[in-house]
Amino acid sequence: MKVLKCRLEIDDLDSFVADLGEVGDRHDVTIQAFDSRYVADRRHLERAVEFTDRAIDRGENVARDRAVEILLYAAGRRQIDRALEMGVGEGENRAVVLVDGGSDGDEAAALEAVESLGAFVEREPTLEAQDAETLCEFFEITDAERAATDAPLSALVRERVALLEVEK
């Protein structure tokens, strides 16, 4: 799995999603773009990919599309409408684009292709600072829960990803 931390300027979301799908098909990889405010850290996305692959292998996936299943796990939700909040939208986005599959060479080539899309503005360190308020609100992590543990917020978010597997 590779990630591209960047800034995107998306004029037409449907067109952008279609472009990502074409790049993924061309390089035999799965691509999913996230609003970086909803991503706790790289490990958050790695866990989502791990649970997705396990669900697909067991025939327990909810979505037919692997990229959507990754989004569901990353969001810790089975409802696609709620999980879509975690994705990018039209306008300017601080984003994380996940590319997974094939080989390292396929992933690297796909990342280059994503950078050549019209929506790509520039690489930017989008995961270096967490938006704690957004993460807590989206993943329903309460102040009491945070006070009850010395675990970092990213670990609590990853717990939500794991709990989705348990709640199925």
Report whether pLDDT(164) > 70: yes
Q: What is the CATH number of the domain that holds 48?
A: 3.30.2380.10
Quote the number of domains for the chain: 1
Short-list 122, 79, 93, CA closest to 33: 93
Short-list 155, 43, 154, CA closest to 98: 43
- pLDDT tens, position by position, 54-91: 999 999 999 999 999 999 999 999 889 989 999 999 99
Domain that holds residue 54: 2-167
Q: Which of 5-9, 27-31, 159-163 has the lowest mean pLDDT?
A: 159-163
Whole-number percent of the chain with pLDDT over 90: 89
Q: Share the mean pLDDT of the chain.
A: 95
Short-list 20, 44, 7, 6, CA closest to 138: 44
Of residues 26 and 164, more confidently modeled: 26
Report whether pLDDT(156) > 60: yes
Print burial letters for 126-151: b (CB count within 10 Å at least 16), e (below 16): bbeebbeeebbebbebeeeeeeeeee
Whether pTM > 0.85 for this model: the answer is yes
- pLDDT tens, position by position, 117-146: 999 999 999 999 889 999 999 999 999 999
